[in-house]
């Protein structure tokens, strides 16, 4: 069993990368398209949030708590 502190230590870098990826994607879309509405921005953030773990697992750099 992994402690909560260990889980946070493993996941913190991935949360930071995901957070930056969301901001970069929102900025890029805003620059290309113009302004996005709230619903479209939220949709983009959710797509990144749900896709990120699958991409990280496929690349083989997932933290041990994400390994199944």
Q: Which two tokens stand for residue 66?
A: 């994400």
Is pLDDT above 80 for 67? no
Indicate the pTM of the whole model.
Answer: 0.79
Closest CA to 25 of 46, 54, 53: 46
Q: Which two tokens stand for residue 11?
A: 């996941």
Is pLDDT above 80 for 2? no
Residue pLDDT, tens place only, 24-41: 999 999 999 887 889 999
3-state SS class at 21: helix
Q: Which domain holds residue 8?
A: 4-66
Q: Which two tokens stand for residue 46?
A: 């959710």
Is pLDDT above 90 for 46? yes
CA distance 15 to 57: 14
Q: For residue 39, how far is the Cα from the chain centroid?
A: 18
Split into its structural domains, the chain has a count of 1
Reported as a pLDDT band with limits 50, 70 and 90, residue 59 is: very high
Output the average pLDDT for the chain. 90
């Amino acid at each position: 069993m992994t402690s909560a502190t260990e889980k946070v230590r493993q996941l913190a870098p991935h949360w930071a990368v995901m957070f930056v990826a969301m901001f970069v994607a929102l900025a890029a879309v805003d620059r290309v398209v113009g302004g996005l509405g709230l619903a479209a921005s939220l949709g983009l953030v959710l797509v990144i949030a749900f896709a990120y773990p699958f991409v990280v697992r496929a690349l083989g750099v997932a933290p041990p708590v994400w390994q199944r």
